[in-house]
A and B are shown apart, each in its own frame.
Chain A
Amino acid sequence: MESWRQQPLVFWIFILPGGLWLLLFFMAPLALVWLFSFGERAGVIGIEITGTLANYWEALEPLYLGLFWKSLWIAAIATLATLIVSFPVALAVSFASRQMKPILLLLVILPFWTNLLIRTYAMIAVLRTNGYINYGLEGVWNGVSAATATVGLGALPAFQPLTLLYNNTAVIIGIVYIYLPFMVLPLYATLERLDRSFLEASLDLGAGQWRTFFNVVVPLAKAGIISGIILVFIPALGTFLISDLLGGPDSQLIGNVIERQFKAANNWPLGAAMSFLLMYVTFAVLALRSMFMNRDV
C-alpha cells in the first residue's frame, strides 16, 4: 500500500465521487435529521432548531419507551427463530456435494431477488383468515368431521379459522421469512471454512453428534452466528413494512411510529429524535458484537 501523496491525482479521482456522494446524500441528510431532533415545529412545514431536548424526553415517555422495548423483544425472538431455522440449512448446504452446493445456495438467495414488498404481500395471502393455511386446515377439519360423522360419533363443530394474520406472531413469521438468507449465508460461510477434522476429532474422542454440535461446531462458528444475528436483528429492529402489513393494532413497532411522525402525524422533530435513538441502539448492538468478537479469539 502506498501513501496517497505518491499519486495525489489518482487518489482524488478514486476517492472523490464516492466520498462526495456519501457526504452530500448520506451524511448531510443524517446531520439534518440530527439537527431536527433538537428543533420545534413552526407552522405547517417549518422547523426551527432551538436546541430543545423536548423531543428526546417525549420519545422516552412510557408509551414510546414501551414500543422500543417491544420492538427489541420482537426483533430478538424473530432473530432467535431465524437462527434456529437457518442453522440446519447452513449445515446441510455446507456438507452438500460439490454439485449440489451452488444449487442449494442459489435456492436460498433466490427469494431475496424478489422485492421486499412483494414477499411481504405474498405472506398475507398465506396467513390471512381466508388464506391458504386456513384453507388447508379447513379441508383437513372437514375431512375429519366427515369421518367422525360416518362412524357415528357426530360431526365436529364448524371450522373456526385460525387468526394467523394481524398479530405479533405474523410479524415474527414475516421477519423470519424475509431475513432468512441473511442468516444462512454468514453461517454457511463459517461452516464451509470449518475444518472437518475438528468434528471428527470430537466424535473420535467419544462425544456424540449433539455434544459435538454444542461443544465444537457452535463455538467455532461463533463469528458466523454473531454476523447472522446482527444482519437479521438490526433490520428487524427497524422494520416498519412487515409490522405494517402483517401486524395488528398492537403490533406497532418503533419503525411504524417513526414513519407516522414523518408522514401522517407530521411531527418531524419527534420522528428525528426517535430515529436517532434507534441508531444509538444499533450502535450499541454493534459495539456489543465487537466485544464478543474480540473476547477469547
Chain B
Amino acid sequence: MSDRPGPLDYSRKLWLRLWLLAVFVFLYAPIVILVLFSFNDSKRNIVWRGFTLDYYVKAWHNAPLIEAFVNTLVIALIATAISTVIGALVALALWRFRFPVKPLFEGAMALPIVIPEICMGVALMAFFARIGWPTQMPWPLSLASITVGHVAFCFPFVAIVVRARMVGFDRSLEEASKDLGASEWQTFRYITLPYMQPGLIAGGLLAMTLSLDDFVITFFTSGPETLTFPVKVYSMVRFGATPEVNAASTLLIVITIVLTVIAMLLQRPDKELQA
C-alpha cells in the first residue's frame, strides 16, 4: 500500500506546495533578476548578452555612490550598537521594576513602531531643520541626524526582543548569586548578562536589518548634503534604471547577508554551551 498523506499533512498537499513555490518565485524572482542582470553586458538590461563586471567597475569609480555606500554601512553599525545597549537597558528596567507611569512609558515606546514611518520621518526632518543639520561637522558626526533617527526607531524593537527573552528568566538565580556573596554588578555580569545574550544578539541583528532596510527615515533625515545609499539610488532610479544601480544593489544585498551570517555564527557557540 502506498504511503498516502494523512488529512492534516498540509505540507504534502500538491496545491499547497505549488502555492508555496509560486509565492517564493514572486518573492525571489525580482531580486534574482536584479542580481543576474548586474552582470549582463547590455544597457537595455532585459535580454542576456553575456557576462561582464563592467558595471561593478563603473560603480567602483562612481565616487559619490561609494561614499553613500560606506555611509550607509557606518550608520547601520553605529545605530545597531547604540540601539542594542539602550534597548537592552530599557528592557531590563521594564522587566524588573514597577514605577508610576509605566503603562504610559510602554505606550510611548510602542509609538515609533506603530506610527507610519513617514510621520516619524517628517517629524525628524522638521526637528533637525530647526536645531541645525550636522552637515558642517567632520565625518562621521555628519551622519548624526540619520543615525539618531535610526536609533529612535530601532531601539524599541531591541527592547521588545530582549524583554521577551527575560520573561523566561528565573529571578531566584539572581537571588542565589547574591546569597553566594556576589554584588549587584557581579550578579548582572555573571548571571543576568549571559542569560540575556541570545536576546541581545537577536535584537542587535534586528536593529541592523531595520537600519539597512530603511529608506523612509533616511530619506527625510539625510539633510541637504549627506549622501546615503538609498537616497543616492533613489535619485539614480528616478533618472532611469541602469545596470550600475543593479551592481550597487547587489553589493548591498551581499553585505547584508554576510553581516547577518556573521551575527548568526556569533550566536552559535552560545547554543552549544547551553546544549
Interface of A toward B, CB cutoff 8 Å? 1-4, 7, 10-11, 13-15, 17-19, 21-22, 25-30, 32-33, 36, 45, 85, 88-89, 91-92, 95-97, 100, 104, 107-108, 111-119, 121-126, 130-132, 135, 177, 180, 196, 199-200, 203, 209, 234-235, 237-241, 245, 255, 258-259, 262, 268, 271-272, 275-276, 278-279, 282, 286
Contacts and interface: CB of A to CB of B under 8 A. Distances in A.
A200 B8 contact: yes
Contact of B92 (A14, A119, A241): A14
B19 A14 contact: no
Nearest to B252: A115
B69 to A, nearest CB: 11
B213 A121 contact: no
B195 interface: no
A100 to B, nearest CB: 7
6 contacts: A10-B184, A25-B152, A113-B256, A117-B215, A118-B253, A119-B30
A21 B89 CA distance: 12
A209 B6 CA distance: 12
B7 A258 contact: no
**Majority secondary structure, B binding face:** helix
B70 interface: no
A121 B233 contact: yes
A33 B118 contact: no
B16 interface: yes
A92 B10 contact: yes
A272 B125 CA distance: 11
Contacts of A132: 29, 33, 46
A180 B27 contact: yes
B207 interface: no
Given A92-B20, A113-B213, A17 B98 contact: no
Contacts of B114: 234, 282, 286
B66 interface: no
A268 B99 contact: no
Given A14-B92, A89-B20, A119-B30, A278 B97 contact: no
Contact of A122 (B30, B119, B127): B30
B193 to A, nearest CB: 13
Query: In the complex, which range does the number of interface residues on chain B fall in?
Result: 35 or more
A239 B215 CA distance: 11
Interface stretch (B53-61, B105-113, B132-140, B267-275): B105-113
Most buried by A among B29, B92, B114: B114
A123 B28 CA distance: 10
Interface string B227-242: 0011001100100010
- The 7 A-B pairs of least Cβ separation, nearest first, read A238-B116, A14-B93, A29-B127, A18-B90, A122-B30, A29-B123, A95-B10
A27 B108 CA distance: 8
B138 to A, nearest CB: 21
A32 B89 contact: no
Given A10-B184, A238-B117, A282-B116, A123 B97 contact: no
Contacts of B266: none
B201 to A, nearest CB: 16
A151 to B, nearest CB: 29
A95 B8 CA distance: 8
A232 B87 CA distance: 24
B212 interface: yes
A246 to B, nearest CB: 11
A114 B126 contact: no
Nearest to A3: B98
A15 B215 contact: no
B122 A97 contact: no
B143 interface: no
Contacts of A259: 118, 122
B155 A11 contact: no
Contacts of A2: 96-98
B130 A32 contact: yes
A91 B10 contact: yes
B194 to A, nearest CB: 18
